[in-house]
Copies of this chain bind each other. A is one copy, B any other.
Amino acid sequence: MTVKARHGIPAMKVGSADCRSCPVRKLGLMGPLATSSTEAIQACVDVLHFRAHARIYSEDTAGSHLYSVRSGIVKLEQDTPSGRTRILRLAMPGDTLGLELMTGFRYKHTAQALRATEVCRIPAVLVRELRESSAALRESLQIHMQRTVDAAEFQIAQFCTGNAQSRIARLLLHLAPEDRTDGRRWIMREDMAALLGVTLETVSRTISDMKRQGMLEECGHAFKFRRGDLERIAGS
């Protein structure tokens, strides 16, 4: 079992894919496929449910499935030369994991759910086959590759630049469409730290400071703030 002992059962199969009810069908990799072919696809695509901290796949292992995120957040991490693990980027609903299998055979990251997460598990061979016959899928693949590039570059520009306060502000803005983060998109301090390239303590301290300055509140697992406040800090 490739999961840290402390985190129990890694995955639970919920059932076969039901694309019609998919919350992110339009965004997902297979979204553009015609409804006629959808039926055949559903047969070999499973929906899996992962608990927080469960591992979806491991760096440098042979892989045979892509994953499409339906809900939740997934972190993609690598072991750095220095022994720590570094989060390279986050995958949100609609994003595709494991696209590197289109040009290789091993996963390049460890993928781990940040919180309860649902994914569609898609056989790589299926995608390779459909790629030959469907121009729509080819376009979708290209779009999703580009989205991967964008996410990685976003990480560099937003989360590897500026001081800790700026980075945290940018992360909160990124996670929150409005003036509060969704409680279901909770990220704990340790993961924030690995994502922003600072220590856990610095994250904790900085968030505490921001609370004391009155620009941030934390209710349960949700942050509340005025976007303007954080945007001012983010750009400095």
Contact = CB atoms under 8 A, between A and B. Distances in A.
A203 interface: no
Q: How many copies does the complex hold?
A: 2
Interface stretch (A115-123, A145-153, A178-186, A218-226): A145-153
Interface string A129-152: 000000000100111011011101
Given A102-B146, A103-B143, A153-B108, A197 B82 contact: no
A146 B153 CA distance: 14
A142 B88 contact: no
Contact of A81 (B80, B102, B104, B170): B170
Contacts of A83: 235
A150 B108 CA distance: 9
A163 B157 CA distance: 18
Contacts of A88: 153, 156-157
Contacts of A141: 142
A234 interface: yes
A84 B236 CA distance: 10
Interface string A92-122: 0000000110111000100000000000000
6 contacts: A78-B157, A81-B166, A100-B146, A102-B142, A149-B149, A160-B160
